[in-house]
């Protein structure tokens, strides 16, 4: 896990600290860790990051520090890995599996399976899911293999460079086949789980939708998130009168599917290291076909 950076003309008179912080977007907290562990090298030698490098000098940052990952129990699991490289992996999560361990899912969360997989490839790192899906939502989840990659993706999310698209089945036929739902969302006052549209105190929430196919009593809809609020698609679709099939929290039970009919099918992002645009897709699971 080596990141290499060659000093160029724009870096003249800048300290190594400045280059690492401003050019490579390494947070001050992570930079302190790297410095303390002697993981910042200049021309293959440990350096004082307060110094000013020369043109064409080579900075190398080593992110392979061993981490304590004992907080997650390893559990063998069949992972549907859509993509993997040295820096992150993408998993197509089935419905019914949470991303994080909890009291009720201490050993059978996706993080448990990733921890087991990390052990098999000799990677002693914490499990770091970048995006999150509800227990009964299926689809793509990114796991960063180090703290730096997680930070990069979080910054992409805040600047809308990390885009997520979903497919869902909703009740009924939408009058407008494409549209934007711009309604603020907040936690419902009497619930720790449920969210609601709150025009006064809610956080800005935007969902772009397009009807893909219509059936006699329901529709297949593509949703693109402009923001990433908890339960956003579920709340927005219910609010306009078309709750997701099987969504018992915001709608009703369905004879067609026994979970909310929601699938994270596409992720668009920028590779944190190569800077190349990437697109990943996961086809609809069988219970949504």
User: So which residues are the catalytic ones?
Assistant: 134
Tokens of 107: 């050993």
Choose among 227, 169, 233: nearest CA to 195.
233
| DSSP letter string, the chain | -EEEEE--GGGTT--HHHIIIIIS---HHHHHHHHHTT-EEETTEE--TTSPPPTT-EEEEE-------TTS--------EEEE-SSEEEEEEPTT--SS--STTSSSSHHHHHHHHHHHTT-----EESS---TT-EEEEEEESSHHHHHHHHHHHHTT-SEEEEEEEEES--SSSEEEEE--EEE-TT-SS-EEE-TTTPBP-EEEEEEEEE-SSEEEEEEEESS--TTHHHHHHHHTT-PBTT-TTTS---SS-SS--EEEEEEEEE-TTT--EEEEE-PPPGGG-
């Amino acid at each position: 896990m080596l990141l290499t950076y060659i000093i160029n003309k724009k870096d003249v008179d800048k300290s190594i600290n400045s280059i690492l912080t401003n050019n490579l977007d390494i947070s001050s907290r992570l930079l302190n860790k790297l410095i303390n562990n002697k993981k910042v090298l200049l021309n293959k030698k440990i350096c004082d990051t307060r110094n000013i490098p020369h043109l064409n000098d080579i900075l190398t940052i080593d992110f392979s520090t061993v981490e304590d990952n004992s907080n997650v129990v390893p559990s063998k699991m069949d992972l549907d890995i859509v993509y993997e490289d040295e820096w992150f992996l993408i998993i197509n999560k089935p419905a019914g599996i949470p991303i994080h361990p909890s009291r009720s899912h201490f050993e059978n969360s996706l993080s448990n399976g990733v921890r087991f997989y990390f052990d098999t490839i000799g990677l002693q790192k914490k499990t770091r899911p970048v995006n999150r899906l509800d227990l009964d939502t299926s689809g793509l989840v990114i796991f960063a293999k180090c703290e730096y990659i997680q930070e990069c993706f979080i910054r992409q999310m805040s600047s809308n460079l990390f885009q997520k698209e979903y497919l869902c089945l909703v009740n009924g036929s939408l009058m407008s086949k494409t549209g934007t739902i711009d309604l603020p969302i907040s936690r419902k006052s009497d619930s720790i789980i449920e969210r609601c549209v709150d025009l006064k105190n809610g956080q800005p929430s935007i969902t772009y939708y397009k009807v893909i196919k219509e059936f006699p009593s329901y529709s297949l809809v593509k949703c693109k998130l402009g923001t990433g609020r908890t339960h956003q698609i579920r709340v927005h679709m219910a609010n306009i009168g078309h709750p997701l099939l099987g969504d018992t929290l915001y709608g009703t039970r369905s004879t067609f599917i026994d979970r909310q009919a929601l699938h994270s099918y596409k992720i668009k992002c920028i590779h944190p290291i190569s800077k190349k645009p990437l697109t990943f897709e996961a086809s609809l699971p069988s219970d949504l076909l």
